[in-house]
């Protein structure tokens, strides 16, 4: 889709809630689950706690009410379990999946493929003892005992 066509779709087909979300966090609607990259755990050198070595199938969207903000719920849960971060569960949300492909989030960190990631050096820390404070008297306040 060309940028001009995408702008037309945002202007004419998206709800006000979707346009606000796109203004506040543009990547929310532009990134597919398969482009999510490494998990927070792997990004913070806690590879043993990463739970995305196995793929997590992602739904594409939710069906919302006429405001475009609040998701619609079915009267009863789905018959088949829906994959989630916490494990399969019977969901009531009206989820939309793509028919022509399955998008899923797989952590892209090398720790899952046997290629160990390059360790990131720890950031430099500032010693708290190097900070100095100056007592400043404000009009009407006294700092007796502070000096």
15-30 residue pLDDT tens: 888 888 888 877 767 7
Conformational region of residue 114, where left means phi above 0, alpha means psi within -120 to 50, and beta covers everything else: left
65-123 residue pLDDT tens: 888 788 888 888 878 888 776 777 888 888 887 777 677 778 888 887 665 555 545 44
Rounded Cα–Cα distance for residues 24 and 116 (Å): 35
| Domain ranges (residues) in the chain | 3-117
Strand-pairing partners, residue 95, are 62
pTM: 0.43
């Amino acid at each position: 889709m060309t940028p001009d066509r995408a702008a037309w779709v945002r202007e004419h087909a998206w709800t006000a809630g979707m346009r606000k979300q796109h203004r506040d966090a543009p990547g929310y609607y532009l990134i597919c689950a398969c482009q999510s990259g490494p998990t927070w755990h792997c990004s913070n050198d806690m590879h043993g706690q990463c739970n995305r070595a196995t793929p997590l199938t992602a739904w594409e969207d939710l069906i919302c009410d006429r405001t475009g903000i609040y998701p619609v719920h079915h009267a009863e849960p789905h018959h088949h379990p829906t994959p989630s971060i916490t494990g399969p569960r019977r969901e009531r949300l009206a989820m939309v999946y793509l028919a022509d492909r399955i998008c899923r989030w797989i952590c892209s960190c090398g720790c899952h493929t046997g290629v160990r990631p390059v360790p990131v050096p720890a950031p430099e820390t500032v010693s708290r003892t190097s900070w100095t404070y100056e007592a400043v008297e404000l009009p009407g306040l006294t700092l007796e005992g502070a000096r």
